[in-house]
Amino acid sequence: QVQLKESGPGLVQPSQTLSLTCTVSGFSLTSNSVHWVRQPPGKGLEWVGAIWSGGSTDYNSALKSRLSISRDTSKSQVFLKMNSLQTEDTAIYFCTRWGPPFAYWGQGTLVTVSS
């Protein structure tokens, strides 16, 4: 069955770089796109970006200058890197597979930006 699981540091210092990994199973990254969605505590959902089956990427225009999404198809992993983190980047970060639309989700991982 389709599964996604996020992993990464729970705490990041301000101005540092966040690195998250989404490990997937039950489907191929070369046939499906994977997206990142985040949710600040107690707030709504925000689409962060995507890596498509062909390897191209799309990013939220508000985050584009700080964001990079890549993948390792041999390991079935998708990576998110976001630099210059600020406190407002504190959120649960979900990876999700295109359904359409977002039909399969990981459990999410909480990232806290704090010194």
Judged by the rule CB under 8 A, the positions of this chain that interact with other proteins are 35, 37, 44-47, 58, 60-61, 94, 96, 99-103, 105-108
Cβ of residue 61: shortest distance to other proteins, in angstroms? 6
Scanning the structure block, which residue is given the tokens 């796109």?
33
Q: Which is nearer to other proteins, 61 or 115 (CB)?
A: 61
DSSP state of 66: G
Cβ of residue 16: shortest distance to other proteins, in angstroms? 26
Cβ of residue 70: shortest distance to other proteins, in angstroms? 19
Query: Could you give the CA distance from residue 24 to residue 95 in angstroms, rounded to a whole number?
Result: 9
8 A C-beta contact, residue 5 and residue 107:
yes
